[in-house]
Amino acid sequence: MDLHAPLGQERKDKRRGRSRLRLSTVSSVFAALALLGLSAWTSLAPVPLQSNPPIGLTPAPPEPTNIASSQPDRDPTEAPAGLATSGPDDGAVIRRTTTADGNVVTTFSPNARQGPVVIGASRTQDPRLAGQPNEDLIEATDAGELPTVSASGLRPVDFYARPWSGARGTRIAIVIGGIGLSQTGSQKAVQDLPEDITLAFAATGNSLQRWMQEARRKGHEILLQVPMEPFDYPAIDPGRGTLLAEKAAASNLANLHQAMAQITNYTGIMNYMGARFLSDDKAMDPVMRDIGKRGLMFLDDGSTARSLSGDYAKAIGFPHAYADVMIDAQVDRQAILAKLDELERIARRNGQAIGVGAAFDETISAVAEWRNEAVARGIEFVGISALANENTP
């Protein structure tokens, strides 16, 4: 007790101290209760605290971060988690949000296009499924699974085609044939050739299904080579199942179907030899009609000027192309490069050109090197179907 303090001062200070204590205690209790309540609400709330994207069909502003580049470990052909989009060149990103009551709300936002619009992309095969056939384009027969036009009118030549940019610049298609005749040559062609080089599979080859799947998964467009009778047959024999000018139509069609059933996923037929057969109108008629009705194209390797394939394509109405240059008639690297330069001159003069060759080591290495240099000079390499004439009867 302070004897020098004014009367009653000591009592007043004690009450004030007790009041401050009570106020501090009450404030602490309320703060603790508020924090406890907030924590409980956060843990029990069905919706997270972060801001959600706008719900509804109003377009949202584009996100500055490119989705594909922000997820380097993801397959670029696969849509990121939570997003549904059919490809990098689509016009929108589609976000589907599930609300608390179970409803799904879709929001659209612009997607920056990552490249030029490709021709035929909407009706071509998904690259992730390129090794598997479209069941709608298969006809089950006694000979096996044969290509056919779907009920909706979709053709194999369209569905299995390799998409291209659509730019009307200088275009070249190179077809390397004989895939399946040599295991080492086939492996080298599939592994070493750029994906925009078309591969032609010999119907008489081996392990065709395996090579087809590898080639398609890599991105190659493919053709099927069917053996046809040359003028000096049988001294020169294209192999088993050769279509012969003197054979009955039923026999040639049976051999054609046997060849067709070896693989799937091809856009068309290419002759293997066949100078005599291609010049015989009676033999050609049923074969060309069958190819046309199955929605395939025909590539004539250009080895004979007497071929009637183009006339039948126009009369019946199906895609057709002629090769301009056989690039490896002489299997020598320098000779092949000279032929490829000739192919480029034709392409620059006409806007497009087609070269054909075989899966020799010299051809494969020369084509792979020359193609890269030609791309740097502004040439676009396309699948063979992109250069076929779309004939109408």
Asked if the model's pLDDT at residue 49 lies above 50, the reply is: no
Cα–Cα distance for residue pair 219/160, rounded to 1 Å: 10
Write down the pLDDT at residue 67: 32
Asked if the model's pLDDT at residue 108 lies above 70, the reply is: no
Mean pLDDT for 354-369 is 98
Q: Are strands 297-300 and 320-322 parallel, antiparallel or unpaired?
A: parallel
Q: How many domains does the chain have?
A: 2
How much of the chain exceeds pLDDT 70, in percent? 69
Flag whether 197 is in a domain.
yes
Mean pLDDT for 368-379 is 98
For residues 387 and 196, the answer to whether their CB atoms sit within 8 Å is: no
Write down the pLDDT at residue 82: 34
Q: Are residues 180 and 97 in the same domain?
A: no
Q: Are residues 265 and 292 in the same domain?
A: yes
* E strand segments, the chain: 83-84, 92-98, 104-110, 138-141, 144-147, 171-179, 198-202, 222-228, 268-273, 297-300, 320-322, 325-326, 352-358, 380-381
Could you tell me the CATH number of the domain that includes residue 371?
3.20.20.370
The residues near 368 (Cβ < 8 Å, ≥ 6 apart) are: 192, 193, 194
Q: Are residues 180 and 315 in the same domain?
A: yes
Peptide bond connecting 62 to the previous residue in cis, omega within 30 degrees of 0: no
Q: Which domain holds residue 98?
A: 67-110
Q: Are residues 92 and 148 in the same domain?
A: no
Asked if the model's pLDDT at residue 244 lies above 70, the reply is: yes
Q: Are residues 201 and 342 in the same domain?
A: yes
- Decide which of 109 and 222 is more confident: 222
What would the two tokens of residue 223 be?
A: 């053709």
Q: Given CA atoms 382, 388, 389, 392 in this order, what sign does their dihedral have?
A: negative
Q: Are residues 87 and 157 in the same domain?
A: no
Q: Are residues 234 and 194 in the same domain?
A: yes
Cα–Cα distance for residue pair 45/108, rounded to 1 Å: 27
Mean pLDDT for 84-88 is 36
Q: Are residues 163 and 290 in the same domain?
A: yes
Write down the pLDDT at residue 95: 56
Residue 84 buriedness (CB in 10 A; 0-12 / 13-18 / 19+): exposed
